Structure 1
Amino acid sequence: MAHNIASIKEGLKERVGSRLTLTSQVGRKRQSEHSGVLTETYPAVFVVDLDQSDHAVERVSYSYADVLTHSIELAFVDEEEPLFG
Structure 2
Amino acid sequence: MKGKEILSAIKKDIDEHVGEKVLLKANSGRRKVMVREGILEKTYPNIFVIRVEGNDRTSRTISYSYSDILTQTVQLVFKNNNVAI
With the shorter chain as reference, the TM-score category is 0.7 to 0.9
The structure with the greater share of residues assigned to helix is 2
Q: CA deviation at 1:80?
A: 2.8
Aligned length in residues: 81
TM-score w.r.t. the length of structure 1 is 0.83
SS at match of 1:21: strand
- 1:44 equivalent in alignment to 2:46: yes
SS at match of 1:4: helix
Shift of the 54–76 alpha-carbon distance from structure 1 to 2, 3 Å rule, reads farther
Shift of the 40–26 alpha-carbon distance from structure 1 to 2, 3 Å rule, reads same
- 1:80 equivalent in alignment to 2:85: no
Q: CA deviation at 1:61?
A: 0.3
The structure with the greater share of residues assigned to strand is 2
Structure showing greater radius of gyration is 2
Hey, what does 1:29 align to over in structure 2?
31
Task: Give the superposed CA RMSD.
Answer: 2.0
Shift of the 35–54 alpha-carbon distance from structure 1 to 2, 3 Å rule, reads farther
